[in-house]
A = this chain, B = another copy of it.
Amino acid sequence: MNEKIKVAVIGYGNVGRMAVEALQSATDMELLGVVQQPYCSDSARLLAARDIKMVQSLDQLSGVQVALLCIPTRAVPSMAREILSLGINSIDCYDIHGQLADLRLELDEIAMVNHSVAVISAGWDPGTDSMLRCMYEFMVPQGLTYTNFGPGMSMGHTAAVRALDGVEDALSMTIPLGTGIHRRIVYVQLQNGANLAEVKKAIKTDPYFIKDETHVIPVADVKQLIDMGHGVDMVRKGGSGSTHNQILRFSMQVNNPALTAQIMVAAARASIKQKPGAYTLIEIPIIDFMYGQRDDIIRKLL
C-alpha cells in the first residue's frame, strides 16, 4: 500500500475549514494539523473533538510533506517562500491574475533550490477555469472567450475590503453582465466612527475593484447576507481550422470555498508527483490530480 500524503492546513478561515473536510474525505491523505496564528481556542477545541491538532506554528508538526496555504491572497507570497525553503510543498489559491506569472517565476527558483514543489493559483479562477480556458484555445484557436462570474460572493474581493480601515465586516458580490463584464456590489458594515465616503473611495480605488462598476452599500449586519454559493459561465465561440461557429460552454454553481479547498487537495496530490519547481495547473497532467492507479483511471473515465 502507498504511504499517505502528510498535509498541514495553514489558516482556518472559510477555505481552511473546507480543506479539513476535503482532506478527511481523501483516503490517500493524512491531515497532520491546522496551523492558526493567532491561535483560536474555540476552533482548537472543536478540532480536538475530531482528533485534529491545532498548532500556532508549522514547526510544531513533524513530517509535513505538503502545506495548503488557506490564507489571504496577499499573505501568500511570503508564506510560500517560507514553506518552500523548508523543503515542504506549497499549495496556494493565489487569485491576482495579473501577478501570478511573476509569483510562479519567483517561487520556481526557491523551490528548485530547496527540492520542493509549489502549485500556485490552485483554485477555480485562476485554477480549473484557467485549465478550461486553455483547452478552449487549442480546441478552437480563433475566437473569443468570455468568462462570466457569479452571481456570488467573491472571497478575494471580500477579504480585500475587510482589510480596509474603517470596515468591520464586508461582503463583495460579483454580478455577471455578460461578455466578461461584471458589476461589484459591496455590502459594508462600518466600524464605529468610520467615514462611509472614505471607505467607498478606498474600495473603488483598490486594484481588485478599480476596473469594474462598483457599488458600495452600507448595512448594519453583513452576516445576515452571507451565502457562499458562486458560479461561472465561460463561453467560447470561434473557429477550428477553417470551420467557424464552434461553440463551447462551461458553467457551474458551487459552494466556493468547498470547491477551492477540494482543488487545493488535488493539487497537493499532484505536487508529490512533480519535479522541484513552481507550477500552475495547466503545467501538470490532469491524471496527476486524481486519486487512483493510472490504468484504472484510463479504463474507467476515458
Give the oligomeric copy count. 2
Residues of B within 8 A of A301 (CB): 130, 133-134, 137, 282
Q: Is A35 an interface residue (CB 8 A)?
A: no
Q: How far is the CA of A203 from the CA of B98 in the complex (A)?
A: 55
Evaluate contact between B298 and A104: CB separation under 8 angstroms. yes
Evaluate contact between A25 and B282: CB separation under 8 angstroms. no
Using known A-B contacts A121-B302, A285-B282, determine if residue A251 contacts B249 with beta carbons closer than 8 Å.
yes
Residues of B within 8 A of A137 (CB): 290, 301
Residues of B within 8 A of A101 (CB): 295, 298-299, 302
Instruction: Select which of B22, B262, B287 is within 8 A of A134 by beta carbon.
Output: B287
> What per-residue 1/0 map shows which CB atoms of A276-293 lie under 8 Å from chain B?
000011111111011100
A interface residue count range (under 10 / 10 to 19 / 20 to 34 / 35 or more): 35 or more
Evaluate contact between B21 and A242: CB separation under 8 angstroms. yes
Evaluate contact between A100 and B302: CB separation under 8 angstroms. yes
Q: How far is the CA of A289 from the CA of B283 in the complex (A)?
A: 10
Q: How far is the CA of A111 from the CA of B301 in the complex (A)?
A: 24
- Given A24-B241, A137-B301, A282-B302, 11 more pairs with CB closer than 8 A: A18-B240, A21-B242, A97-B302, A100-B298, A101-B299, A130-B302, A138-B266, A240-B261, A246-B253, A246-B254, A246-B258
A-B pairs, 10 with minimum CB distance: A21-B241, A243-B258, A22-B241, A240-B262, A138-B266, A130-B302, A21-B242, A282-B286, A138-B289, A240-B258
- Measured CB to CB, the residues of A under 8 A from B are 18-19, 21-22, 24-26, 97, 100-101, 104-105, 121, 124, 126, 128, 130-135, 137-142, 240-243, 245-255, 258-259, 261-263, 266, 269, 280-287, 289-291, 294-295, 297-299, 301-302
* Between-chain CB contacts (< 8 Å), 20 pairs: A22-B240, A24-B241, A128-B135, A130-B302, A133-B301, A134-B297, A135-B289, A138-B262, A138-B286, A139-B263, A139-B266, A240-B255, A240-B259, A241-B258, A241-B262, A243-B258, A247-B252, A247-B253, A247-B254, A249-B252
